[in-house]
A and B are shown apart, each in its own frame.
Chain A
């Protein structure tokens, strides 16, 4: 029995190109360039709609002052090892209160005093960020407590429901509870 074997077109293509296939990895940076540019833009607040962060939650009155609050990124909380899970928020002080607010703090649940007021915001008054810890027992029905401390030592607080502040964190907390 005689069998005539000639390499098929497919196999010769394979022979020819198999060592160059890793070039296909270069599709990745091409695909992710728009996402990269969007993320760097988000980081710098270059876009009007996402000036403070990926999700602007709204403006909140805190005593005589007011702030705008945003989720920096619209993802679920990230795992930080021993510190547990954490989530970043961005805040801007109203232009009239820049010089009277000394510090701002954010946490899940009511603080007992200013030393437990939560994560301290860092940055310029127009854009400061704080990464808050998510306690083990936290639920999606809990409140975020925002504490502002004046240069004269006065404290003012307000609360924002997690359900309003962050849909992603709400979904994550609901899932974790189940």
Chain B
């Protein structure tokens, strides 16, 4: 066993005298943390990496989600113009929400309910208002996210087993990170003098790759392990019906504010430009990228977007009858716990600073995937074989002993 472990390290201190038993202990823990579940972890890391850029993959594959401008100086439509365009192209459909990523290559996503009671997500050109297409029954982006996040498993008796299975991987991930740092003495040398020997046999290659990828991904793995761990804690709190929200009761428009109309027709509402004006006066820094239309007569117009803190959305609720701003949810209105919670998802997905960050996340995600695979290769190519050999040797020795008796 001793020898096996020694060979297995392949660490920089091969010339050092026999390693302390404590280091050996951590080494064994490091090896066994992920090995029994490596294939599952590999799958989750791989699908997660793909999920990071799933929106861009759809963009490449499907022209209807792109926001092509008809001319270089074309102006973006206002929200009211978008509503008018949708009504023109899909008569009778009721718009529920409009998502307009700021300065984006993506078309607007307009969620509507059709007169036949079905829900559709329309891809609308932000310059022309043309409905370019709609999301199909199979949506690659949602599918990959569901595959990565909960293995497509349904709620069973209100218990989301798939979510637990995936988020619980944060424990071996965090453990592997910590034990990896412990056993990889002077890991920072991988930053200064990276080494990947690809022509000295498989063992050397996978070992070098594992150490190199591991050292370079320390911050990324830490982010993934902590955010995923938080998703696990959040789900536990959720299932225990513990709420950490400071948002309070759902906001409703006061009954007195909803006009009674003598002839029984719907009361007049402000238009979205007026709502946007009310929001601008309240939160000048907000870049509105989402508008939710009232979902019933007592509901508000909700306008949301990113403010100065890029990780979180801020939102404003506007009374649709009198244009009053009745609630603002700024970053500063949230508790520290909510700030942390709200920041976890964007930190996990990398979707808050633009395409460049998504590509960085993709690269490190694939590196982490490779790390899982190389870890398995190192282990099975070295230690497991060695362990089996040692067990066999001992068994042989015992048999010989028995035979001698």
Contacts and interface: CB of A to CB of B under 8 A. Distances in A.
B40 interface: yes
B158 A79 contact: yes
Given A32-B151, A103-B297, A26 B43 contact: yes
Contacts of A79: 158, 241
Contacts, number: 141
B201 interface: no
Contact of A152 (B38, B118, B260): B260
A99 B147 CA distance: 41
A44 B120 contact: yes
B119 A52 contact: no
A66 to B, nearest CB: 14
Which one of B96, B118, B142 has the highest number of Cβ atoms from chain A below 10 Å of its Cβ? B118
Interface in A60-103: 78-82, 92, 95, 99-100, 102-103
A41 interface: yes
Interface string B114-135: 1111111000000000000000
A28 B265 contact: no
Sort chain B's interface into a size bin: 35 or more
A22 interface: yes
B37 A126 contact: no
B272 to A, nearest CB: 17
Nearest to A41: B137
A39 interface: yes
B271 interface: no
A32 B152 contact: yes
Interface stretch (A1-9, A133-141, A160-168): A1-9
Contacts of A81: 241, 243
B379 A99 contact: no
B380 interface: yes
A122 B296 contact: yes
A95 B36 contact: no
A26 B120 CA distance: 31
B264 A152 contact: yes
B58 to A, nearest CB: 16
B151 A23 contact: no
A128 interface: yes
Interface of A: 1-3, 5, 15, 19-23, 25-26, 28-29, 32-33, 35-37, 39-41, 43-46, 51-52, 78-82, 92, 95, 99-100, 102-103, 120-128, 150-154
5 contacts: A21-B39, A95-B115, A128-B295, A150-B264, A151-B264
